Amino acid sequence: MQETRTLLVTGGAGFIGSNFILYWLKKYPESKIINLDALTYAGNLANLRSIQNYPNYTFVEGSITNKELVDNIMDDVDAVVHFAAESHVDRSILDPGIFLQTNVIGTHILLESALTNNVQHFHHISTDEVFGSLPLNTPEAQFSETTPYDPRSPYSASKASSDHLVRAYGETYGLSYTITNCSNNYGEYQFPEKLIPLAITNIMDGLKVPVYGDGMQVRDWLYVQDHCTAIDLVLHADKSSNTYVVGGLTEDVPNIEIVKMILKIMGKGEDMIEFVTDRPGHDKRYSVNWSKIKTELGWKPSVSFEEGLEKTIHWYQENRHWWEPLKAANQEFFKKNYSK
């Protein structure tokens, strides 16, 4: 398919955003990407080194909360793909204010600018966490596009708010939009504060893996490349004002089992597990029914969890130079988070 649109990708130096840019420019070399990223602790231009001199790629360092900057960039943009956010639940518990600034105010500034600049389409990347928490051991209970919102952490409340703003701009002002609410991603370039990369890198450093509470909480894991293909299909679907939920697993795997799988692949024993104080308001279970995107757009995950986990572990083993400085620079956060 010929793809010549100019995309404004926000948060393209983060985990999913950088995987998406690499995916998109490989598949659609005629397309242009402007990457607007504030380079917070989570943004890392090393992820994009392979395309940094590519003529169709432009990086702009700055915040989505800077209205003047956003207005200047939006001029030449056909579609916005909005990833930029504060994304870590534990950080939102320690310091919620920045989550409201970036995730709510930042999204509002982008929407306003997209509208006034007649941008053709706005795609908003959101999360399944906006739907709240499902009970454990209820396989029939799943999130879908019609599940009522019930966010329970400052992070998910800020993401829920941004989803509502996107829909409000569609309904009230006619802005063409789509939203994807995706489950937990894992894979290359994920900041080593999230469970899977934290576990892998701790094990590599001979440190124990902190498991919150009893470790029986459940997440619906999706390999990041499969998230990119879902966004691609949605960006090419002829459906505005539409939402898709995106998920990965077909059965529940509790956190403790994920950690045991990682330990097994890495040849280490379960004595490396350390149960620590639970996360306040910890959501018990996420599970996504992604039949709408499967039926309407033909999407399904292509990588099994076992395969994705092995690829991810291998990547972190080969790329210590990528994650080691990030962990070293964030010791203050780790100390604060795990000394509760």
Token pair of 321, please?
A: 């130079």
Task: Pick one of ligand DAU, ligand NAD, none as the site partner of residue 286 (Cβ within 5 to 8 A by kind).
Answer: ligand DAU
Which tokens is 229 given?
Answer: 């293909």
One-letter amino acid of 174: G
Residue 63 interacting with ligand NAD (CB under 6 A): yes
Residues from 219 through 278 that contact ligand DAU (CB under 6 A): 219, 255
H or E element in which residue 274 lies: strand 273-276
Contacts with ligand NAD: how many residues (CB under 6 A)?
Answer: 31
d(CA 149, CA 105): 20
Span from 3-11, 52-60, 211-219, 236-244 in contact with ligand DAU (CB under 6 A): 211-219
What's the rounded Cα separation, in Å, for the pair 338 and 340? 6
What are the structure tokens assigned to 13, written together? Answer: 């130096």
Instruction: Work out the angle at residue 18's Cα, subtended by the Cα atoms of residues 20 and 9, and round it to the nearest 5 degrees.
Output: 70
Q: Which residue is nearest to ligand DAU (CB)?
A: 127
Under rule CB under 6 A, which residues in 276-315 are in contact with ligand DAU? 279, 286
**What is the distance of C-alpha 214 from the center of its chain?**
25
In the complex, residue closest to ligand NAD by CB:
14
Strands 185-186 and 222-223: parallel
- Residue closest to 85 by CA, chosen among 107, 114, 60: 107
Residue with tokens 């029939």: 140
Judged by DSSP in three states, 79 sits in: strand
17 interacts with ligand NAD by CB under 6 A = yes
- For ligand NAD, the closer of residues 32 and 88 by Cβ is 88
Is there binding between residue 200 and ligand DAU (CB under 6 A)?
A: no
| Contact of residue 39 among ligand NAD, ligand DAU, none (CB under 5-8 Å per partner type) | ligand NAD
What does the DSSP 8-state code read for residue 278?
Answer: P
Binding partner selected for residue 299 from ligand NAD, ligand DAU, none, CB under the kind-specific 5 to 8 Å limit: none
Residues that bind ligand DAU (CB under 6 A): 87-89, 127-129, 183-184, 194-195, 198, 210-212, 217, 219, 255, 279, 286
Note the residues at the interface with ligand NAD (CB under 6 A): 10-11, 13-17, 36-40, 42-43, 63-65, 83-87, 102, 106, 125, 127, 159, 182, 184-185, 191
